[in-house]
């Protein structure tokens, strides 16, 4: 994009307006030209001088300021993206019904660019039938309405309705602006697993692996941006992707139970987690004392991918991952082909891993992989960001969904 992308940041009148200040900073510092359009109620939470200072532009909520520039039409017409964060129940209702009684709602009516809305409100308001109907209407029109996060709300309340973290919303905005905002997964429910499981020996020690969870989180973020309802089953400590329901687990058994529960109604499941093959037969209730030698008996963990294959509903697409190293018996790809045949999934993402510092696989921000299909297809992906690899995987999944 030659010139700076033009983003309209709409801010509605909710307490989460203070978090939009950080979203504004994230966008301006990554080279975006941001115009802030708050509602009058939003200015009760964060004043116009703050928005003006950080955006470098005058700020108004009224259609009557600078009338000669016709701002109620021009701002929406010139935007490359409109993002509303927070989007209150009131603004969602107005947008769904075409009500334009201030600068923000006029801008939404005139925008011909992608629109992202990040709702934030109390749980009861989000779950109200009127709000859910308005969200469904907006999504049917192509608006990307992000699911709220679960967590602390105003006062002592907790629940679903929290604004996702600004860093994750900024990622979503950049992705849409980069042209990856197609909603080919709209109406689909997908489950992604991420992170390395931990198998505890005692309250202090555990067996684990080097998986950071970055690839699984990238898959979840990409699926949200493509319009899917996303469940992320994760053992990673990474921030929750904006718009995804996150189920926290630790062990392989916990991940098995959570993934199978969520997968029962999913259109696609992507097993990006690094799941331990074995766990200690006994977990001690107290710390093991240091001795000259230690003998631990292990038992096999459940095979989550195989269980998914056995229970999958018609039309569901299953994707496995194989972090491999070549050996005297076979190459990385040969091991991958054998695993694909053994597991019975639709796609298998094969990537070579090595010691810490290896350019692909665990811990890093980039990955290279080969996506093998049960239909004989082979998709080679050179060293790219994990976000880019996530899109290739979803392209493969989307092409196989009924």
pLDDT in tens, 120-171: 999 999 999 999 999 999 999 999 999 999 998 887 888 999 999 999 999 9
Question: How many CB atoms sit inside 10 A of residue 366's CB?
Answer: 16
The mean of the pLDDT values for the chain is 92
User: What CATH number belongs to 6-177?
Assistant: 3.40.50.1950
Whole-angstrom distance, CA of residue 147 vs CA of residue 228 = 10
Catalytic residue ranges: 209
For position 67, what pLDDT does the model report? 59
- The average pLDDT across 279-302 equals 88
Residues 6 or more apart whose CB falls under 8 angstroms from that of 38 comprise 10, 11, 12, 17, 46, 48, 51, 59, 61, 104
Residue pLDDT, tens place only, 354-402 = 655 555 667 678 999 999 999 999 999 999 999 999 999 999 999 999 9
Q: How confident is the model at residue 181 (pLDDT cuts 50, 70, 90)?
A: low
- The average pLDDT across 68-83 equals 81
* Per-residue pLDDT at 72 exceeds 70: no
Identify the weakest region by mean pLDDT among 47-56, 115-124, 180-189.
180-189
Q: Percent of the chain having pLDDT more than 90?
A: 77
Question: How many CB atoms sit inside 10 A of residue 368's CB?
Answer: 15
For position 354, what pLDDT does the model report? 62
* Per-residue pLDDT at 69 exceeds 80: no
H/E stretch holding 369 reads strand 366-373
* Per-residue pLDDT at 107 exceeds 60: yes
Whole-angstrom distance, CA of residue 215 vs CA of residue 17 = 30
What CATH architecture applies to the domain 189-400? 3-Layer(aba) Sandwich (3.40)
Q: How confident is the model at residue 3 (pLDDT cuts 50, 70, 90)?
A: confident
The residues of the chain that CATH labels 3.40.50.10300 are: 189-400
* Per-residue pLDDT at 287 exceeds 70: yes
* Per-residue pLDDT at 265 exceeds 80: yes
For residues 118 and 89, the answer to whether their CB atoms sit within 8 Å is no
For position 188, what pLDDT does the model report? 97
The residues of the chain that CATH labels 3.40.50.1950 are: 6-177
Confidence (pTM): 0.88
Give 326 or 251, the one with higher predicted confidence.
251
Output phi, psi for 307, to 5 deg.
-65, -35
Q: How confident is the model at residue 352 (pLDDT cuts 50, 70, 90)?
A: confident
* Per-residue pLDDT at 295 exceeds 90: no
Q: How confident is the model at residue 1 (pLDDT cuts 50, 70, 90)?
A: very low
First-last CA distance in the chain: 34
Residues 6 or more apart whose CB falls under 8 angstroms from that of 162 comprise 16, 120, 148, 149, 150, 151, 152, 153
Q: Provide the CA 402 distance to its chain's centre, in angstroms.
A: 23
Structure-block tokens of residue 40: 């009058």
Residue pLDDT, tens place only, 356-365 = 555 566 767 8
For position 375, what pLDDT does the model report? 96
Residue spans of beta strands (DSSP E) within 28-100: 33-38, 81-87
* Per-residue pLDDT at 283 exceeds 50: yes
Residues 6 or more apart whose CB falls under 8 angstroms from that of 224 comprise 146, 147, 172, 230, 241, 242, 243, 244
Residues 6 or more apart whose CB falls under 8 angstroms from that of 168 comprise 221, 239, 240, 241, 242
Give 331 or 86, the one with higher predicted confidence.
86
């Amino acid at each position: 994009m030659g010139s700076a992308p033009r983003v309209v940041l709409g801010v509605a009148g909710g307490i989460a307006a203070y978090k939009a200040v950080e979203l504004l900073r994230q966008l301006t510092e990554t080279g975006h030209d941001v115009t802030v359009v708050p509602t009058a109620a939003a200015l009760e939470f964060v004043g116009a001088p703050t928005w003006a200072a950080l955006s470098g532009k005058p700020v108004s909520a009224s259609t009557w300021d600078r009338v000669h520039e016709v701002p109620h039409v021009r701002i929406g017409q010139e935007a490359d993206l409109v993002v509303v964060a927070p989007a209150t129940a009131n603004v969602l209702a107005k947008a769904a019904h075409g009500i334009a009684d201030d600068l923000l709602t006029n801008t939404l009516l005139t925008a011909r660019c992608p629109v992202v809305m990040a709702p934030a409100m109390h749980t009861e308001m989000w779950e109200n039938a009127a709000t859910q109907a308005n969200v469904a209407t907006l999504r049917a029109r192509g608006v990307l309405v992000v699911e709220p996060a679960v967590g602390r709300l105003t006062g002592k309340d907790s629940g679903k309705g929290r604004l996702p973290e600004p860093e994750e919303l900024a990622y979503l905005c950049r992705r849409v602006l980069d042209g990856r905002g197609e909603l080919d997964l709209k109406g689909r429910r997908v489950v992604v697993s991420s992170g390395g499981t931990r198998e505890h020996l005692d309250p202090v020690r555990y067996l684990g692996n080097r998986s950071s969870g970055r690839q699984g989180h990238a898959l979840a973020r990409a699926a949200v941006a493509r319009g899917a309802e996303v469940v992320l089953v994760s053992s990673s400590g990474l921030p929750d992707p904006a718009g995804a329901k996150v189920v926290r687990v630790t062990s392989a058994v916990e991940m098995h139970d959570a993934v199978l529960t969520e997968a029962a109604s999913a259109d696609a499941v992507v097993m990006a987690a690094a799941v331990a093959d074995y766990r200690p037969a006994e977990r001690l209730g107290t710390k093991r004392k240091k001795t000259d030698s230690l003998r631990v008996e292990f038992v096999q963990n459940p095979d989550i991918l195989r269980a998914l294959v056995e229970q999958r509903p018609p039309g569901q697409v299953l994707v496995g991952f194989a972090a491999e190293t070549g050996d005297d018996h076979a190459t990385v790809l040969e091991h991958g082909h054998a695993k694909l045949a053994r597991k019975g999934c639709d796609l298998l993402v094969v990537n070579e891993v090595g010691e810490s510092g290896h350019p692909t696989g665990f811990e890093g921000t980039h990955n290279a992989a080969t996506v093998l299909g049960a239909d004989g297809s082979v998709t080679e992906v050179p060293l790219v960001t994990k976000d880019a690899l996530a899109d290739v995987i979803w392209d493969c999944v989307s092409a196989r969904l009924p």
